[in-house]
Chains A and B, each alone.
Chain A
Amino acid sequence: MEFAEPFPDHSFLRRMRVKSGPIGIASVALFALVLAPSIAVAQAPQKAPAVINPPPTAQDWADIAKLPDWSGVWNPKISDQDAQVKTNPPPWNEAAAKKIQQMFAEEKAGRPTLIFANCLPEAHPSWMLVTHNAMEILFTPGRVTMLGESDGNRIRRIYTDGRGHPETSDPTFHGHSIGHWEGDTLVVDTTDIVPEAPLAVSEAAGLPNNGDMHVIERIHLADKDILHDDLEIVAPNILTKPWKTTRIFFRQRARKFDIVEGVCATGDLVERVNAEGDHVFVPVQKSEWGHTTAVPAK
């Protein structure tokens, strides 16, 4: 016989499951009816079994070698980002379109809206859409990891171990990404992105996605050193229909272009030596549009 919840992991109850015959069944039933409820009250609530990520095997590592070569440093084709602002605008809903037009007007007037303030990540998918910085892509068993240049928090973890999205949403800037390979194409499905994350078409035009955003990507080499990210962005609270766009990245291998640590917050600071001889960071002045307007003298 099988016990239903709430005793999924109780060891002595588990042992009873193997009993058979009328006496065994009757005694288990009696126990369940009379004694077990009181024990259950006394016991701490039982946790669901832990899901263990298995250690990778030699075969898992060997399988990595069969994947396409995405090593090197990938840089965004910014001129194509620029062009798509006009050639492939998102299907904004009426309210969103009005706000975006206001942002374009403000930018044209020299008062660009600060979409990416406070060094918060551009977030997904805007990192892929409008970044001006390089990234690298790492393959390990069960994972693809994207590391961005501009700050340490530009990172995407894409699980390729067959898991699904979590039952309980835990929204993050880059969302929860699961991926699988279809030939040499990595197909990525991302949900659970914070509603504040902007859907941006430039550094001065973008709107919070306002929740329920879902992004599907097909990432693949379009040429030896050209990577395409074909995105389909579903953002029902600001778009009238899914938006499709391809973002282009090109590869560098020269070592001098290796990505070095970037810390966005240092953009607010300058290195100085204080009266005690300590090396410290002190603030610079910034404008409301984000550019530096004054640096304190040494």
Chain B
Amino acid sequence: MRHVLKSIGAFATLAIVGGGISQVAAHHSAAMFDFSKSQTLKGKIVEMRWVNPHVTITVTGSPSADEAPADWLIETTSPGNLVRAGGWRRDAVKPGDEVEVTFHPEREAGKKSGLLMELKAVSSGEVFTANIRDQEKPGLE
């Protein structure tokens, strides 16, 4: 069914014809994440990719004491939207910074990835939100 649906959209068809299912940068839905759940992960920044259309942040850490530390890949919105969402900059976090990230996990169990809700820089206590819908008013400063 899924492939039938994808063939409906000519753009989606291109994605399939054009070499499988990987590497198709896109403005995509976040429906692969479970919005009914949230998790918090304490760890250190490995890398932030400050790219359109979706910034990703790799954090190495563990969401619970009984889980071994690992790299988690946290996706979020675009750089421009993060700047407007509140306080974000390209250098808001740097490799090695201690952070707490709260996110919606992937629906598929076992995946070490999620959709960012907010990031807290441990050293400064600064909190960076990823919710662009909270900033829907003119004249922000």
Q: Do A and B bind?
A: yes
Interface residues of A (CB under 8 A from B): 75, 77-79, 82, 99, 102-103, 106-108, 110-120, 122, 132-134, 149-151, 196, 198, 202-204, 206-208, 224-226, 250-254, 256-257, 259-260, 262-271, 283-295, 298
Q: In the complex, what's the smallest C-beta–C-beta distance from A96 to chain B, in angstroms? A: 10
Known: A108-B31, A113-B6. A290 touches B26 (CB 8 A): yes
CA of A224 to CA of B113, assembled, Å: 41
Known: A117-B14, A117-B15. A265 touches B25 (CB 8 A): yes
CA of A150 to CA of B54, assembled, Å: 10
Interface residues of B (CB under 8 A from A): 1-2, 5-6, 8-12, 14-15, 18, 21-32, 34, 47, 49, 51-54, 56, 58, 73, 75, 77-81, 83-84, 107-108, 111, 113, 132-133, 136-141
Q: In the complex, what's the smallest C-beta–C-beta distance from B36 to chain A, in angstroms? A: 11
In the complex, the answer to whether B25 meets A291 with C-beta atoms within 8 Å is: no
CA of A103 to CA of B111, assembled, Å: 24
Known: A113-B12, A257-B140, A298-B47. A264 touches B52 (CB 8 A): yes
CA of A202 to CA of B29, assembled, Å: 8
In the complex, the answer to whether A289 meets B52 with C-beta atoms within 8 Å is: no
The 9 closest A-B pairs by CB, nearest first: A290-B28, A112-B29, A225-B138, A204-B29, A288-B21, A267-B25, A196-B10, A112-B31, A262-B52
In the complex, the answer to whether B32 meets A286 with C-beta atoms within 8 Å is: no
CA of A250 to CA of B30, assembled, Å: 24
In the complex, the answer to whether A117 meets B26 with C-beta atoms within 8 Å is: yes
Instruction: Report 7 cross-chain contacts, Cβ distance below 8 Å, ordered by A residue.
Output: A114-B9, A114-B12, A149-B78, A252-B139, A252-B140, A266-B52, A287-B22
Q: In the complex, what's the smallest C-beta–C-beta distance from B86 to chain A, in angstroms? A: 11
In the complex, the answer to whether A107 meets B31 with C-beta atoms within 8 Å is: yes
Q: In the complex, what's the smallest C-beta–C-beta distance from B117 to chain A, in angstroms? A: 16
In the complex, the answer to whether A270 meets B141 with C-beta atoms within 8 Å is: no
Known: A207-B8, A250-B137. A268 touches B23 (CB 8 A): yes
Task: Name the one of B21, B27, B111 contacting A150, with C-beta atoms under 8 angstroms.
Answer: B27
Residues of A near B84 (CB, < 8 A) are 75, 134, 252, 257
In the complex, the answer to whether B27 meets A122 with C-beta atoms within 8 Å is: yes
Task: Name the one of A77, A285, A289 contacting B28, with C-beta atoms under 8 angstroms.
Answer: A289
Q: In the complex, what's the smallest C-beta–C-beta distance from A209 to chain B, in angstroms? A: 10
CA of A116 to CA of B5, assembled, Å: 14
Residues of B near A295 (CB, < 8 A) are 47, 49, 56, 58, 73
In the complex, the answer to whether B27 meets A207 with C-beta atoms within 8 Å is: no
Closest A-chain residue to B8, C-beta based?
A99
In the complex, the answer to whether A206 meets B83 with C-beta atoms within 8 Å is: no
In the complex, the answer to whether B29 meets A117 with C-beta atoms within 8 Å is: no
Task: Name the one of A112, A118, A256 contacting B11, with C-beta atoms under 8 angstroms.
Answer: A118
CA of A118 to CA of B51, assembled, Å: 15
Q: In the complex, what's the smallest C-beta–C-beta distance from B32 to chain A, in angstroms? A: 5
Q: In the complex, what's the smallest C-beta–C-beta distance from B33 to chain A, in angstroms? A: 8
Residues of B near A256 (CB, < 8 A) are 83
CA of A114 to CA of B32, assembled, Å: 12
Residues of B near A268 (CB, < 8 A) are 23-25
Closest B-chain residue to A265, C-beta based?
B25
Q: In the complex, what's the smallest C-beta–C-beta distance from B96 to chain A, in angstroms? A: 13
Known: A102-B5, A115-B12. A291 touches B77 (CB 8 A): no
Q: In the complex, what's the smallest C-beta–C-beta distance from B92 to chain A, in angstroms? A: 13
Task: Name the one of B31, B49, B139 contacting A225, with C-beta atoms under 8 angstroms.
Answer: B139
Residues of A near B29 (CB, < 8 A) are 107, 112-113, 202-204, 289-290
Known: A75-B84, A132-B132, A253-B139. A119 touches B11 (CB 8 A): no
Known: A288-B21, A289-B32. A198 touches B9 (CB 8 A): yes
Task: Name the one of B2, B25, B139 contacting A111, with C-beta atoms under 8 angstroms.
Answer: B2
CA of A82 to CA of B56, assembled, Å: 24
In the complex, the answer to whether B52 meets A112 with C-beta atoms within 8 Å is: no
CA of A251 to CA of B32, assembled, Å: 31
CA of A287 to CA of B2, assembled, Å: 14
